[in-house]
């Protein structure tokens, strides 16, 4: 008993010395917590554009919330909602802007009607690859521009994962010439939809969870989604015969965390840093997972389900590239924000392209 008391006393004394020295070091500038005041806790809601716990896309916000909970010692708890649980998938932006939910997880190109430049932060046809996009966002001025574009809506965006390059998608009939796109009803988001419209197709925007039934019922003739890992999970091979692997419309799709600015500013500095670091960790983790799963899922689609693989003919791709240049020129002329972001993006891409043409392009052919 005597020994125990002595030990407890020693611990108490050591703690007191530590606290005193800590206060002395920081000159009283640190005010977030003290022994007598329990740390404030925060309960947030995060709405998403994906089915609850959907592989990759839907697990990114779940992992984020779990990591934040552990890193903050339970001081910031975030409840994640799948699309339609609290609000529909395409209402994520407004919900976070209004503060009904403190956070969201989605894809920037879904907001092109609100913010014309938004798709540039997600995916642009014939644009940057995943690695190039991440480098532009974090070391090329992209993130600063992204925050500038979302600021009028009271939202702070952060990179929230990347699916890697996405497949052209699923078609009920083969595409052998640009004529085959005429009248084709295809689910496709972002500026790629504007590009397809120029080719005479009818771009349709529907949430991921509704694609399968639309494809199966014939309401649409074709659909893109993500790539083998996610496409297999939705079972698209049961609704369309041909799978086009060509990369053009989403060469490296960036996802996003949306954070209500007011809610973020109410967090103490350490929790703000935890949110930022957890977002960056999930951004990297999601890509690692997609890279690991896509090729395995593709093998399953081909070998187990007998999916017919196709690529777009070169003349079709050349036409799509021509239309993409037209769409971007129109956007630059129509919106100052788009023009500003595009200048930064396109200059960065030009530098990356010369470098990667010299290095990785040759390596991919040689290895």
Residues that bind Ca ion (CB under 5 A): 166, 224
Helix %, strand %, coil % of the chain (to 5): 55, 15, 30
Nearer to Ca ion, 137 or 255 (CB): 255
CB 176 to Ca ion: min, Å: 23
Q: For residues 215 and 223, is the Cβ–Cβ distance under 8 A?
A: yes
By beta-carbon proximity to Ca ion, the closer residue of 142 and 190 is: 190
Q: How far is CA 11 from CA 2, 5, 24, 33, in A?
A: 15, 10, 20, 20
CA angle centred on 352, ends 350 and 354, rounded to 5°: 70
| Least CB distance to Ca ion at residue 210 (A) | 14
- Both tokens of residue 64? 């984020």
CB 255 within 8 A of CB 161: yes
CB of 12 to Ca ion, least distance (A): 59
Q: Min. distance of Cβ 265 from Ca ion in angstroms?
A: 33
CA distances to 148, 183, 190, 344 from 338, rounded to whole Å, are: 12, 29, 13, 10
Closest distance between Ca ion and the C-beta of residue 192, in Å? 8
Residue 132 or 224: which CB sits closer to Ca ion?
224
Please say which residue, 134 or 166, places its beta carbon nearer to Ca ion. 166
Between CA 14 and CA 19 the distance in angstroms is 9
Name which of 201, 57, 213 is nearest 122 in CA terms: 57
CB of 166 to Ca ion, least distance (A): 5
Give the angle 82-83-89 at the CA atoms, nearest 5°.
Answer: 145
If the CB atoms of residues 129 and 166 are measured against Ca ion, the closer one turns out to be 166
To the nearest whole angstrom, how small is the minimum distance from the Cβ of residue 209 to Ca ion? 14
Q: How far is the CB of 250 from Ca ion (least distance, A)?
A: 5
Report the residue number, 140 or 169, with the smaller CB distance to Ca ion: 169
CB of 157 to Ca ion, least distance (A): 18
CA 164 distance to own-chain centroid: 10
Tokens of 102: 């403190």
Distance of CA 133 to the CA centre of its chain: 11
Based on CB atoms, which residue is closest to Ca ion, 60 or 68? 60
Q: Please, are residues 181 and 200 in contact by the beta-carbon 8 Å criterion?
A: yes
Query: SS in 3 state form for 244-255?
Result: ECCCCCCCCCEE
Q: Among 261, 66, 59, which Cα is nearest to 160's?
A: 59
Q: Closer CB to Ca ion, residue 110 or residue 153?
A: 110
Q: Specify the residue, 140 or 164, whose C-beta has the smaller distance to Ca ion.
A: 164
């Amino acid at each position: 008993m005597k020994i125990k008391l002595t030990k407890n006393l020693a611990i108490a004394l050591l703690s007191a010395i530590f606290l005193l020295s800590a206060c002395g070091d920081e000159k009283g500038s640190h005010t977030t917590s003290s022994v007598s005041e329990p740390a404030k806790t925060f309960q947030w809601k995060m709405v998403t554009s994906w089915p609850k716990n959907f592989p990759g896309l839907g697990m990114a916000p779940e992992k984020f919330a779990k990591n934040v909970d552990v890193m903050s010692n339970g001081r910031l708890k975030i409840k994640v909602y799948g699309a339609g649980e609290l609000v529909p998938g395409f209402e994520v932006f407004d919900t976070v802007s209004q503060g009904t939910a403190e956070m969201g997880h989605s894809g920037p190109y879904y907001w092109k009607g609100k913010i014309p430049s938004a798709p540039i932060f997600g995916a642009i046809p014939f644009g940057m690859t995943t690695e190039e996009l991440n480098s532009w966002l974090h070391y090329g001025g992209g993130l600063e521009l992204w925050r500038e574009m979302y600021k009028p809506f009271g939202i702070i965006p952060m990179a929230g994962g990347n699916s890697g390059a996405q497949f052209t998608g699923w078609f009920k009939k083969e595409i052998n010439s640009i004529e085959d796109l005429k009248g084709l009803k295809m689910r496709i988001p972002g500026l790629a939809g504007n590009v397809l419209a120029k080719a005479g197709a009818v771009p349709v925007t529907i949430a991921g969870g509704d694609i399968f039934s639309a494809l199966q019922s014939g309401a649409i003739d074709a659909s893109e989604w993500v790539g083998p890992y996610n496409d297999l999970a939705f079972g698209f091979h049961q609704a369309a015969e041909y799978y086009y692997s060509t990369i053009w419309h989403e060469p490296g799709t960036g996802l996003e965390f949306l954070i209500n600015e007011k809610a973020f500013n109410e967090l103490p500095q350490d929790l703000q840093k935890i949110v930022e670091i957890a977002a960056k960790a999930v951004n990297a983790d999601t890509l690692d997972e997609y890279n690991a799963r896509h090729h395995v899922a593709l093998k399953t689609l081909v070998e187990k389900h007998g999916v017919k693989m196709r690529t777009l003919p070169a003349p079709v791709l050349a036409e799509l590239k021509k239309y993409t240049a037209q769409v971007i020129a129109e956007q630059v002329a129509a919106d100052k924000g788009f023009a500003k972001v595009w200048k930064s993006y396109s200059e960065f891409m030009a530098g990356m392209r010369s470098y990667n043409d010299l290095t990785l392009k040759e390596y991919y052919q040689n290895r």
